[in-house]
A and B are shown apart, each in its own frame.
Chain A
Amino acid sequence: RGCGPRSAGGSASCAGCASGWRPSWRGGDTAEQEEDGERERDEAACGARQPSAAEPARGDAGDAEDEDGARGLRERLAAELARGDSGDADEEDEDDDEEEEEGSLGFPAELPPLPARSALSAAEILRYSRQLVLPELGVRGQLRLARSSVLVVGCGGLGCPLAQYLAAAGVGRLGLVDHDVVETSNLQRQVLHGEARRGRPKARSAAAALRRLNSAVQYVPYRGALRPRSALRLVRQYDIVADCSDNVPTRYLVSDACVLAGKPLVSGSALRLEGQLAVYNYRGGPCYRCLFPRPPPPDTVTNCADGGVLGAVTGIIGCLQALEVLKIASGMGSSLSGYMLMFDALEGRFRNIKLRPRKADCAVCGDSPSVTCLQDYEAFCGSCATDKCRALQLLPGADRVSVQQYKALLDARVPHVLLDVRPPVEAEICRLPHALHIPLRSLQDRDQESLQRLQNRIGEEKQRTDDQTPLPVYVVCKLGNDSQKAVKILQELPAEEFGSVVAKDIKGGLMAWATKIDSTFPQY
């Protein structure tokens, strides 16, 4: 999936102040036209509750979601066929069919306000009895919950447990935003989605699972990414926002939207064996930008796919998020405004870090803000609003080969060295047997032992060639990003020690190898 011009939505919603964010890599007129076209289509789609057959309204879907949709459809068809074969059409299918109607509305027009309630029914009293007897909550708190709406941005590792506990507790309405479909590698932590849901949109899968848990809650699945164009309209319709997203641009987008709409933001994040929780823009406390005015350089950001994460860790943070949402919604209030609760799973320890107060010169929540409408956050952050498309372009095309080209070289027995630069833990998962494994980190550190091993292998391989042409060193990693960094390091190595070599990276890495060359090679 591409991550360029199509993604820019901020400039459409506010051309004047977005121009400052306009990225240099974005095209000119072509991009604008595409964007305009997309906008018109979207606005038309959002305005109409009855989508036409030719142009189904699928919320804030741009081209990417069209692709997603196509992929989702293909996977769903496959799943449906598979189910048909086994013949076990169960309740879940009915659930899904029902949702199909609802979900296809995408981002509906204004939601009606939740009715104010003055009393609980006998059934509700029974259902919520264990929390009703808490003096801190009581009937008053429960009635407040029933009147509250919460927007859940991201139905993944954080969003699943969060939404589960909010639904169970009897929140009035849950908006569920996710542009993605359920994948096998999600199931280890995204506990609302089951095996049978693979290939289906997460927003709908989550709504179906939650409906089985508590049918009294209103679920509004939004199948599409939160975009600058529509985020404010959406956020304004909810009382509290929970950021359960998985990428930096979305975190800035959600935070800015909450500041502009005046909504409290309960923000959770998790990676590897760590989690963070904070409540922003609440009772005069700081916003996300107060703490992090400048986004991190894109290549310093690690996502769950690259860094890994343990499901129990996202579960803990998601539950803590749910707790803070429930406290705010029921009127108990959150004590986490101005604090960051950090969870260190390895140590089994929480730390509560007191944060700075609201920044008077914050660009969005400060006394004279420069950000008064939503921007182009992908441009601002220099990265995509997804945790998937992270294809870096660090090398010129001449320094890269495709997996097909590499396969041809391999088949032709061209003398070369294949250098695998993944971290040791990944090399243990799977590897190409003929590869020399030296982690990128060791190359970056110019680790002598590692460089010696490389030098030896180059020497051995050179003995098999008589000619004077430089020996090719092909560098591979998981996805083709680290391999480019490694090539740059190899290009700086002294020729007198390593001899004449030419380093190239293999585009797309071992995952491209698995999808395009060897389907038995594991994907992770």
Chain B
Amino acid sequence: MGMVVSFWILAAVGIIAALGVVLLRNVFRAALSLILCFLIVAGLYVTLSADFLAAVQILVYVGAISVLIILAIMMTREVAQGSPNSRFQIPAFIVAILFLEVLVLTLINTPWPVSSMPPTAPTTAALANSLFGEGGYLLSVEIAAVLLLSAILGAVVLAREK
């Protein structure tokens, strides 16, 4: 009962926040709305007993990505007046509709199996085993790290004046 109530509250606030990101004209407020949306997603992870994922969601999305978005907004001038008019409104609309169609089709055609197993209690050890243990996803983790490093190096090369 409590879980259902909290799910619906989180879902409603999350959708309102997501709509705010798209509809608010003030870019800074839209960014704050995005942060609220990220926090709500973390809350949904908590209701699914994925505590590690929730903490990482807040750490990465709220603590790092949102902060960088806000920094970029602060570097930009006169954004408080709203986003400037764009010539790409119609193409963007078409792409958005296509993306929505893909999402809706996926939602309808997925069987959504419900697991009857109780959730693993300490999630950290299980996660670590499946990420770094034998037969785990060690290669993907390492590749992701190298990818991020190369992105940082690329940014440094681009930003250097010489």
**A and B: real partners?**
no
Could you list which residues of chain B lie within 8 angstroms of chain A, going by C-beta atoms?
A: none
